[in-house]
A and B are shown apart, each in its own frame.
Chain A
Amino acid sequence: MAGGKKKERGADSFLIFLVLLLVALGLIFLYSTSAYNGRVKFHDPAYYFKKQLFATSLGLMGMYLVSFMDYHFLVKMAPFFYGISLALSLAVLLFGEEYNGSKRWLSLGPLSFQPSEFSKAAVILLLAWVIIRGKEENRGLLPMAGRMLLLLPVVGLVGTNNLSTAVIILGIGVILIFVSNPRYLPFVGIGGAGILFLALFLGTASYRLERLAIWRDPEAYEKGFQTIQGLYAIGSGGIFGKGLGSSLQKLGFVPEAQNDMIFSIICEETGLTGACLVILIFGFLIWRLMVMATHAPDLCGSLIAAGIMAHMALQVILNIAVVTNTIPNTGITLPFISYGGTSVLFLLGEMGLALSVSRQIKG
């Protein structure tokens, strides 16, 4: 199989359809969920919706542009992007805006920017760059560890303020290295080490233990408020939901319902049926990215598609797991649907990257 130029087949139209569907659904749910908070805080029910619409439009344009770029070029630029992401992450630490107790935003006039979202995309490109440059026969643990070490600066910088994003970056890293390496056994070790590390990490600080206790019985703790409100919303949805716009829990009961907990409102309004459909759409999207990764003309495209798949899947799974109190609470947004301009912008950018890969798949 030869790489290089071949006849272009055009972008993956099913993926485009899925992305547009998710973006549209996201905007609808976002408006439904945020109208109350917008009205109460800014006297404008469409406040959040307008901002998100702006970011989405920008993102769609970005997606369109990126899809026409050659991903090989973008991968070559990876060290540069990675450097920028490190600089931005550092800038956040120094000059960041604090909101809800964590510094995650950089402000530029009326616009604010969340560098950690950019970091995720940069990391995917960086790993692809590193892996295709490495010797294929290099299957030892050492080079693997070396690649992971490359991620440490960004994980450290992002993790200071945003542990969950750092976990996702690490997850993307592990998955890409797993895919690039023919061996299995070391990864069982890595998995085991990861679990051990997590157990130690959770067990060593009392506030993390408290988080565990809240997870097990959210109704018994005051800090379980958000979790329990989310569960009330989910549970009261039933099989078919209360109908779009009819959630009561979004009326201030679930705090900041348009952010991390938006899925609980989707559950309340559209029921088990709607919620499963949303999961199914994400499932198709991930499946499509998997197909793309397996059909990519070269390892570079394959790794990009696999990285984006990992990013998407990890975020969807962790978000829903948190909202349903399957795992302890941690702040992870639901792709395309949760409120957050930077997030939707870079997610669409990543989709553009995936489309760019799909263009080079031989028909």
Chain B
Amino acid sequence: MKKNRTYHKKKTVIVFLVFAALLLGLMGRMFYLMAVRSEYYSQKARELHEREREIKAARGRILDCNGEVLADNKPVCTISVIHSQITEPEKVKAMLVKELGLSEETARKRVETVSSIERVKTNVEKAVGDRIRSYGLDGVKIDEDYKRTYPYDELASKVLGFTGGDNQGIVGLEVMYEEVLRGINGKILTTTDARGVELSALGESRIEPVEGYDLQISLDKNIQMYAQQAARKVMEEKEAQGVSILLMNPQNGEIYANVNVPEYDLNDPFTLLTDADTSRMTEEEYQDACNQMWRNPTINDTYEPGSTFKIITMAAGLSQGVVDLDDQFQCPGYKIVEDRRIHCHKRTGHGAENFVQGAMNSCNPVFIEVGLRLGAETYYDYFRKFGLMEKTGIDLPGEAGTIMHKKEDIGQVELATISFGQSFQITPIQLATAVSSIVNGGKRVTPHFGVRVTDSQGNLVEELEYKSREGIVSSQVSEEVRYILEKVVAEGSGKNAAIEGRTIGGKTATSQTLPRSENRYISSFLGFTPAENPQILGMVVIYDPQGVYYGGTIAAPVLKDIYENILPYMGIEG
């Protein structure tokens, strides 16, 4: 029998002490993990356990100036099934077939797919969703959602725009005011095990969604409707490719109506208006066609303005003092600039005329003369001063910029053509804005739709403000321009827009689209009333009309018709 010697005991104690030290060390390690790093690992674990389902926030509405709802939300449901929670698969299948109109096969596939959550159908009417909920079947989830609806279908489609699958703005005001309209989605947080099965014992925590703000715009549904009707009428009569109408307040830039027929159905924005066979298009062609359909030509496209641009030449000439109202001119039917003979639209010539008469006749040689008197440099400076080189800043996406000669490239011939609105391109909204600034006494306004942001109860959140710039022209020049343009409508080329008992200023234009050889025209008319104190400025642009294409003949009457109907409604007199 061996003795248990002292050194045995001593060494046993040493071994024990080493073990004890190691255990202490591990406790230290645990302190580090569970006290120091606890927050980090807890957070990581929480992220792992929590599944979140979004609760969609209601998107803010878009209201017209009278509070009429132009873009609204319809509550809809998304139906999903959770495979691991289904207890009565046959009943679920039968329910899906009955309530959602699925085929037996699809229903079976949805129910039998082993996934954490299988989406069966979105955009289900709320009533149907409620009915499905009342079945009380395990493993069937009904999530509330919203679908954007536009009560007036195609009304102002190219202004309002529409939203995509996640209710995010795609085009138009919907995308421009995304930040305002979009709410903050809420969340349902549920804790799950590793298979994704929710642990009902732990319940769910909800973060409530915050609904988006309403946007009130200056557009007036009634005016828009009437203008749309008028635009449709002339488009059909003239077999035109399209008609744009803009009605705005030249004093502050608020837009009352912007029609661009053909409009598309906002509730069905992916169906092309043409009869083109979409099934034979490539994805890219189809997308292009859609984009084309959604474009707002008033803002997104440039054109050669033609004679309406003479208003700009007029204002520049009067401001610079190179022309007076009663300056005398002689029109032989053309004007020779350098080696070019530039024709007046009246080949026989207007003969002797003063400046006002020249405007009434829309006489090209008169305005060429004024342009030449200004000189390229000065003309270009006015072009810039009137804001024509910059964008208007309208609150719609994709505004097109001006396409203009470089200053150093403007020779006498170019200057001559610019003077009567050719050889460069601007957008209709740009022209309307520039003319507004001239006739309103010289204040460059920012054209806009958005007026104020409110909550759903109508409480003001923000009054939207826009830049303006004074001193574009002097009030005297402004007054002279208004006087001349009133004469144009009262007795000149714009007389088809005249209304008995009202003072209307305006200018017609007939321009060609490029290339000129195709003989496609754009007829337009720009008018405002009352002439002395313009409250509403209107612009009618008819693209590619068939038959008679003179702006004074076909575009002026459209604005006259609109004015006759909306001015009493708006309470504008004089």
Contacts and interface: CB of A to CB of B under 8 A. Distances in A.
A320 interface: yes
B175 to A, nearest CB: 39
Contacts of B19: 286, 309, 313, 317
Contacts of B340: none
B29 A326 contact: yes
Nearest to B191: A248
A175 B15 contact: yes
Interface in A296-331: 296-302, 306, 309-310, 313, 316-317, 320-321, 324, 326
B31 to A, nearest CB: 6
Contact of B195 (A131, A231, A252, A309): A252
A101 interface: no
22 contacts: A3-B2, A36-B193, A234-B41, A235-B45, A238-B34, A238-B38, A248-B191, A252-B194, A271-B34, A272-B30, A272-B35, A276-B27, A279-B27, A286-B16, A287-B16, A293-B8, A297-B4, A298-B1, A302-B12, A313-B22, A317-B19, A324-B33
B189 to A, nearest CB: 13
B315 to A, nearest CB: 70
A189 B22 CA distance: 21
Contacts, number: 154
Given A233-B45, A239-B35, A321-B26, A300 B16 contact: no
Question: 5 nearest interchain CB pairs?
Answer: A235-B41, A252-B194, A3-B1, A251-B193, A299-B2
Interface string A226-240: 000001111111110
B11 interface: yes
A297 B8 CA distance: 12
A253 B4 contact: no
A136 B2 contact: yes
Say what secondary structure dominates the interface of chain A.
helix
A147 B70 CA distance: 93
Interface string A275-297: 11001001100110010011011
Contacts of A248: 45, 49, 191, 193, 199
Contacts of B15: 175, 178-179, 290, 306, 309-310
Given A283-B23, A290-B13, A294-B12, A299 B4 contact: yes
Contact of A290 (B16, B34, B199): B16
B466 interface: no
Interface residues of B, number: 40
Most chain A CB neighbours (cut-off 10 Å) among B8, B48, B193: B8
Given A179-B15, A317-B19, A299 B38 contact: no
A140 interface: no
Contact of B45 (A178, A249, A302): A249
Given A237-B38, A298-B2, 19 more contacts: A175-B15, A179-B8, A179-B12, A182-B7, A235-B41, A235-B42, A238-B38, A248-B191, A251-B194, A271-B34, A272-B31, A286-B20, A293-B12, A298-B3, A309-B16, A310-B15, A321-B29, A324-B33, A326-B29
A235 B40 contact: yes
Contacts of B38: 235-239
A82 to B, nearest CB: 20
B280 interface: no
B26 A272 contact: no
A231 B41 contact: yes
B161 to A, nearest CB: 44
